[in-house]
Amino acid sequence: MLIDEPQHLIFDILTQLEVTVKLVTRSLLPGFFLIGTALFPLGVPGQAGTATKTPAVASDTVVGRALEAPVNTRELSDKFWWDDAWYDRGILPDPVNYDVVEKEVTYINPADNTEVPAILYRPKDPGKYPGILFQHGRRGLDEPVQRLPRRMAARGFVVLAPDVYSARFIDKLPIEHMVETESDTDAGIDFLLKQADVSTSRICLYSHTRGGYYTLRVAVRNERQKKDVACYVSSYPHWQDPNAEEPMQVYRYALEADSLDIPTMIFIGEYEQYQRRRSIETAVKSMKESGKNVRLIIYPGVGRGFDFRPPSVRTFADDLATRDATWRAAQFMRDHLDAWKKD
């Protein structure tokens, strides 16, 4: 932008070492032009000035990142993650770990007699355990995704993971959403509750990506939350109809979220895709304003797929987020299934 006459802008030069310029009242001198946030004399390329030399900076794009550590000034009572035992006395909660066995099973969806393949995970130790239904997302139930229900079974649950794409001969990573697959997920709840080693009369729904839409629909539209489902947990869920138009994907969320009445926990990364994060945060805000029991946890430094990214690209932050989300999800579901133990 060329400036031919003195004009008043507002600048605030933080320090000589920072090129980030913010607004304080000041006059620009004639014959100067503004690029981004740095001032240069006309006719002089780059940062080479003949009179006043602009301090050199490493970045040629000058992203104004604050170097101070972030702070959280909420009252301690509002920090749900706070633990006096750990902070003051160094006591960490003992992890619950089980060796896991798994077997391939099938069940029939009575809506249209579709045979649905699934994997049933459970602790190797004999006994009964609370039930969880894990619904895969757009990737399908491939090996990286299978780690998610396996990790949860290792916390002490019987976990059913339906493969609704194989049931309908749907290729991996579909664009369109086949509504009939929702009933395949729904039928899985009945199959899971009939298992002799399930210790609860209700189960929790656990999912990621598009699986979060399946389980949302099953809980609300199929009214499973009223009789068979105790809680809802999902990582970076697609909380919008995948078949909806683009503006709906970006600016709206699935209205079923407003009718989700069971305790809900959502995990996303700081770098979640904008259109997904916007719909999730908007929905959670609406749910909180309605007094719903919902918690959204955003992990710093990670993006979509932090819990199944392969070792070749996996970061330390991915692993920290995955471990924490797995532990918190397990604790959340165990707490809400305790009230539904069978006699």
Query: What's the Rg (C-alpha) of the chain?
Result: 26
Whether residues 269 and 331 fall in one domain: yes
The answer to whether position 73 is within a domain reads no
Among residues of the chain, what percentage have pLDDT more than 90?
78
Alpha helices in the chain (DSSP H): 84-89, 143-153, 164-167, 180-193, 211-220, 246-251, 274-289, 316-337
Whether residues 247 and 317 fall in one domain: yes
The answer to whether position 76 is within a domain reads no
Burial call 270-306: b when 16+ CB within 10 Å, e when fewer: ebbeeebbbbbbebbeebeeeebebebbbbeebbbbb
Whether residues 43 and 115 fall in one domain: no
163 neighbors 119 (Cβ within 8 angstroms): yes
Name the residue range of residue 314's domain. Answer: 100-338
The answer to whether position 269 is within a domain reads yes
The band of 38, judged by pLDDT with boundaries at 50, 70 and 90, is very low
Among residues of the chain, what percentage have pLDDT more than 70?
82
Whether residues 121 and 259 fall in one domain: yes
Please give the model's pTM, rounded to 2 decimal places. Answer: 0.81
CA distances from 4 to 29, 31, 228, 295 (A): 9, 6, 72, 54
Whether residues 237 and 312 fall in one domain: yes
pLDDT at res. 294: 98
Domain boundary among 13, 31, 50: 50
The band of 182, judged by pLDDT with boundaries at 50, 70 and 90, is very high
| Residue 187 clears pLDDT 90, i.e. is over it | yes
Whether residues 45 and 165 fall in one domain: no
Write the CATH number for 131: 3.40.50.1820
| Residue 39 clears pLDDT 90, i.e. is over it | no
The band of 114, judged by pLDDT with boundaries at 50, 70 and 90, is very high
Whether residues 12 and 106 fall in one domain: no
The answer to whether position 60 is within a domain reads no
Whether residues 158 and 270 fall in one domain: yes
Whether residues 227 and 314 fall in one domain: yes
The answer to whether position 80 is within a domain reads no
Average pLDDT (15-20) is: 39
pLDDT at res. 51: 58
Q: Specify the number of domains making up the chain.
A: 2
What tokens were used for 287? 């749910």
Whether residues 25 and 104 fall in one domain: no
The answer to whether position 333 is within a domain reads yes
Residue of 23 and 199 predicted with greater confidence: 199
pLDDT at res. 55: 75
Average pLDDT (35-44) is: 41
Whether residues 294 and 179 fall in one domain: yes
The answer to whether position 135 is within a domain reads yes
Whether residues 4 and 124 fall in one domain: no
The answer to whether position 226 is within a domain reads yes
